[in-house]
Structure 1
């Protein structure tokens, strides 16, 4: 049990909470204690002027022991309820669904909506939704909204809709031709240095991964205390690792961390789970990236946007340089967003496409082969250097009848 103090105006309310308790429970108890109006007014908890997420457990917020939180006015409830946010549902043995919802939306209607869209059977007895360590059943979800559960912002939840396993349904409208093309064409070898503006296409797997085929139980989703403590230590280590250094030492560390980027590999992920990889020069602009993606589309007049995967932010089509202005690294993932439905890529690209699993399995083999070749060359060079040194050094052996300098015999 940990003690949390909530301050509102001139009053203080102390409450004992479990480490796995979410801040939404603390907020509701604080509103009840201070007898505040919660029908038309939204309330938030802040720490040092920063709003805290209500869905994250207390132990994962890295707050000090006996923390003092402030209960502040968060605006009118109508404005906060009208704001949309995203909920990522990770459905057991069925894949992922992302829903754009509001705080007042019904949870069970949202789940029934994408189950009906994907023709999934919804079993009320097996229905379970988990957010961190909090688990809700069908009885808890049937009359609850997202605001009642404390889900007020972007979050990922785990969901079990039934005990029967079902294959993952991809969002590609015509998956059969893709499977035929993939079986007809053998997988090409991955080049050590891909050419600039070369397009490599990837398609999703038709069958679910081995992890989803296993008979998982509810205990597999339970987060242990050891895992949470390890995560807390990682956050504490990253927060307290800034040692006092001089300006010269800080510059030396920053220069050591910097590395020269020869090529920018940009992977674009489409809504139908297909991907393309394109290599660009670091000095090229974002406008060239947009133009290269348009050449890969079936309809070049399609309006779309490119966004960062996290945090979700749009990248404008302008003359900003990839590395100098946008800070791209050697590998960058972008998300393709549009209101139109797929498929999006040209048919000739889909014929040569391969799965991500095949590409990932081929990459380590190529890396091991390059490492082995490099080690062979190093061993040959080292042996030749040793042979030259041995031939250049004069022989240190003793002639017949000579004595070593360190041997000193006394006279009798």
Structure 2
């Protein structure tokens, strides 16, 4: 990734989208890549800051792009061919297969946070049909020229490593690796000098300059949600006069009556009791 002199957000190289005339086999050979415009940098949290899970995604996060629909179509065609041309499946197996496909289609995108040794995090949203090599490429493109040649490993505790060279990993999609809809991957360099906890990671300067405090951003988002909740009209049958069901019930019980009205009501009750 080339650095920019004007300090603008660096742009990562974008994969070429498949043309409408591409065949189903061509669409299935390479999974669609996510938009390159969306990546974030989170500064290391303060010791007194609460833990920060990946926030819930808006509805647009679960909408399929054109390239994703092409890949899903190609995948469906392959599965249909296997079901019709291969050995017959039992009804239960077919139902299980359909259920898995529906579950897969729920998460067209996967948000990945890469946590460096000093707890700086690099975040980006990928297509769920991409492979782990796309994540590695994104990270490597974000490193300084000095750090690019150094090997690194992405893993999850306690020590589940996701290496591109691992045959159990490199052919699986991010969804197949159970990263969808969001996951955190830790990063360690093979050079111990780059794994220090007291220095920033070897990211490009313009990327480090984009860092924000996750706790403050989440607090700001919570304040915005609170404002939206306060702006919504109250429920419960509010009338034009401002009194809802609660006020009507209170009046029926005599709680909002004046002193004279209460005396008159008491007199009527005593009169009724005396006539019994």
Length-normalised TM-score, structure 2: 0.43
TM-score (ref. length: structure 1): 0.30
Answer 1 or 2: which has greater strand percent.
1
Q: Kindly indicate which of the two structures has a greater share of residues assigned to helix.
A: 2
- Determine which structure has greater relative contact order: mean sequence separation of CA pairs < 8 Å that are 6+ residues apart, divided by chain length: 2
